[in-house]
Amino acid sequence: MIGLSCKHVLWCVDCDLKRNEIRSLNRFKRYYGLKIFNLVQLDYVGDDLFIIRLFKETAFESKYPTGRANDVEWSKDWETLNRAQYVIDTSTLECEKAMASISFNACANRTDYAYLIFVESKFDEGRGNMILSPMWKDYYKHWEDGSLVVFKFLEKSWTIKIEKNSEVCSLGKGIVEFFRDAGITDGDFLVAFRETEEKPDCLRVCIYNNADHGMDFVIGLTEPVPHKWTKSFFKIVYEDAYSRGLFMVPFMVNEFYMWKLKQIKLLSVGGLGWGVRYRPFPGYIYNLEEMLMYYKLKPKETIIFTLNETDVLYGRVYQCNGAEIDYQSRAKHEHDHNADEWIWSFEERTNSGGDEEQSFDDEMAVDDDAGNLLEFTTCLTGGNVDKKTHGLFIPQTIQPSCGVWKRTQKIKFITEKGVWDIGITNTEERPRFSAGWNKFIRDNGYKAGQMLNFRLVEHDDYADFIISKV
């Protein structure tokens, strides 16, 4: 048996290690409404426990159900509240087909899109049509009154008749059936792309449900972000990513979190940082060529990006087989393209004992080319995570610009889960992390045997350690 933990709900399921299969997932899939093209991130933290995050086919992290997980019979109220589809046909999970649809629904790194917001009051159900805004002009200038346009959503398609009068263009006969079959409701967004330039009458559409982008706090450009707030999305690496060095931000992320994306200054992947830039319209992050080449990212691999209250965007990379890449090996060696790179196993590395002393080789602490960045990597011991002692000793090679660590030094730990204030103390004249360490370990669920990378970034009156698992 293994445990799947998702937003404070723990699921105990069977695992067949010989066949590398996780079984008895029917209730888990039904509860979260998982369907084809959804993405599940499983993060192993030791002791046969996985932390789970779920993503819609739109590349946006899912809203999680509010019903009771121990319900055997699903009430109508619960079904209405979560509006989930409870059936998944695993026989249709063909890798190439799935990747193609996920790539599209992750916004496909294209800028030639148009969108509409479905508002019931603006929809003339009697006539069965909806007027298109001027944003669609590049599309409907190729259409004539009475012409037919095909909308494709996932693996289905609908034929829509165009009604055009002077400069006003409407979606006519067939649009009612499309809205009904695709499950579009009041407040939902519909984003459309031309399938190819040669077929201007064939559009791929992506639907963002109103329930998915509901805000969990009041948004404002100067609004403070709640502590440990995070929002994640995924992107698929495409063929010419190396040369373009950009990813389109999924539509709903760009629409509602533009204010946060404007604050991002650094992308952290595998414990290393790269400067990253963001362009609000049409909404993409760029300057990523160096990172993509450094880790030798391959087409159809997945990057999960996470925003939090800091100015750092975090990225984690997964192979097509679902395993997270080995960042150090990717950076140093050329691999067999068919090799699997697993960076975790069910057997956790552990060390017994109390407050073990640490020792660092010179190679463990590295001075970055930028001149003001230092980093070190260490393996957590039992004493580091037993919640009874102070934290790690700081290597002698990791020094602040003032030359010495002081008890009054302001330190912040930053991970993809949030920010923690950490104190400094001295044990036998050796500096180490102190107040706040145990809370930091507990909140992040770190275990003995895990490798962590600490990257120092100094500011005028405080210092950050950007921390990532290795």
In this structure, are 400 and 325 located in the same domain? no
Cis ω for the linkage preceding 431 (within 30 of 0): no
Lowest-pLDDT range, 160-174, 191-205, 356-370? Answer: 356-370
pLDDT in tens, 364-376: 444 433 334 578 8
Instruction: Give yes or no for residue 85 having a pLDDT over 60.
Output: no
Query: What stretches of 219-301 adopt beta strand conformation (E)?
Result: 231-236, 246-248, 266-269, 272-275, 277-279, 284-286
Instruction: Give yes or no for residue 36 having a pLDDT over 70.
Output: no
Two tokens, residue 419: 């920010």
Report, in this order, helix, strand and coil percent for the chain, each rounded to 5.
20, 35, 50
Residue 226's SS3 state is coil
Residue 140's SS3 state is helix
Instruction: Give yes or no for residue 70 having a pLDDT over 80.
Output: no
pLDDT in tens, 269-314: 988 888 999 998 878 899 999 999 999 998 888 899 999 888 899 9
What is the pLDDT averaged over residues 337-347? 39
In this structure, are 86 and 25 located in the same domain? yes
In this structure, are 307 and 397 located in the same domain? no
Where in the sequence is the domain holding 376, given as residue range(s)?
362-469
Instruction: Give yes or no for residue 73 having a pLDDT over 60.
Output: no
pLDDT at residue 160, as a whole number: 94
Residue whose pair of structure tokens reads 């290690």 in the numeric block: 17
Asked if the structure places residue 48 within a domain, the reply is yes
pLDDT at residue 364, as a whole number: 43
In this structure, are 239 and 186 located in the same domain? no
Choose one of 332, 349, 381: the last residue of a domain. 332
Q: If you average pLDDT over every residue of the chain, what do you get?
A: 75
Residue 470, C-beta contacts closer than 8 angstroms, at least 6 positions apart: 270, 271, 327, 328, 377, 451, 452, 453
Nearest to 280 by CA among 293, 262, 305, 303: 262
In this structure, are 465 and 375 located in the same domain? yes
pLDDT at residue 108, as a whole number: 63
Nearest to 432 by CA among 360, 351, 369: 360
In this structure, are 371 and 463 located in the same domain? yes
In this structure, are 193 and 254 located in the same domain? no
Choose one of 58, 93, 128: the last residue of a domain. 93
Two tokens, residue 2: 């293994």
Asked if the structure places residue 408 within a domain, the reply is yes
In this structure, are 174 and 138 located in the same domain? yes
Domain tally, the chain: 4
In this structure, are 192 and 135 located in the same domain? yes
Asked if the structure places residue 337 within a domain, the reply is no
pLDDT class for 161, splitting at 50, 70, 90? very high
Asked if the structure places residue 352 within a domain, the reply is no
pLDDT at residue 66, as a whole number: 62
pLDDT at residue 173, as a whole number: 92
Instruction: Give yes or no for residue 30 having a pLDDT over 80.
Output: no
Asked if the structure places residue 103 within a domain, the reply is no
In this structure, are 122 and 203 located in the same domain? yes
Helix (H) or strand (E) holding 443: helix 437-444
Two tokens, residue 323: 């395993």
Asked if the structure places residue 105 within a domain, the reply is no
Choose one of 285, 310, 332: the last residue of a domain. 332
Pairing of strands 15-16, 411-415: unpaired
Instruction: Give yes or no for residue 340 having a pLDDT over 70.
Output: no
Q: Report the C-alpha gap between 444 and 43 in whole angstroms.
A: 12
pLDDT in tens, 381-437: 888 887 666 788 888 888 887 778 888 788 889 887 788 889 888 877 788 888 889
Asked if the structure places residue 347 within a domain, the reply is no
In this structure, are 179 and 86 located in the same domain? no
In this structure, are 368 and 419 located in the same domain? yes
| CATH code, domain with 130 | 2.40.330.10
Asked if the structure places residue 220 within a domain, the reply is no
Lowest-pLDDT range, 44-48, 130-134, 423-427, 455-459? Answer: 44-48
